[in-house]
Amino acid sequence: MGKPLIGILMGSDSDYEVMREAAQALQEFDVPFEMLVTSAHRSPQRTSEYVVSARARGIRALIVGAGAAAHLAGVVAAETTLPVIAVPIDSTALKGLDALLATVQMPGGIPVATMAIGKAGAKNAGLFAVQLLAVTDQALAERMAKARTLMAEAVAEKSERLQQRLRADGLL
Ligand code: RP5
């Protein structure tokens, strides 16, 4: 893989199981990325140093996962005009609702594109980052369109398997 185009940040290594979905989505489309742990609360200076240097190092968008009182995506967005895609993590007793509300309710002026809570959100964050790159990369756009076609075919196959089960169960 070449120089990273996407930065994936997370508040703790305990977020990795969720955030690896974003990494896998990027890898599927051969988009180089880097991944690090940095916290809005526990390491504010490390967070700031990474974010302010990101654009000059060739990073095009940032994917940010955090749980609990999740300020990381907003803090990151405050320090850069790169697109920030957030993933609320279900790491507390509130099952990610806390992180979702903390992340999604950004005051006007500093946007954060917030995905769903947990693994689906992390996967979509990766795919959304690929889509951002595909705006100016026709080959990448075509690969994404092909992936959508395969997805649609898989749905049709699932439906066909369902018909077989219905027949096996004597319901058809
Ligand atoms: C957040 O607190 C992290 O993003 C993580 O989801 C949560 C718990 O962190 P650890 O206590 O596991 O380090 O900042």
pLDDT in tens, 20-45: 999 999 999 999 999 999 999 999 99
Residues 79-131: pLDDT tens digits? 999 999 999 999 999 999 999 999 999 999 999 999 999 999 999 999 999 99
CA of 66 to the centre of ligand 1 (A): 7
CA of 11 to the centre of ligand 1 (A): 6
Are 89 and 15 spatial neighbours (Cβ–Cβ below 8 Å)? yes
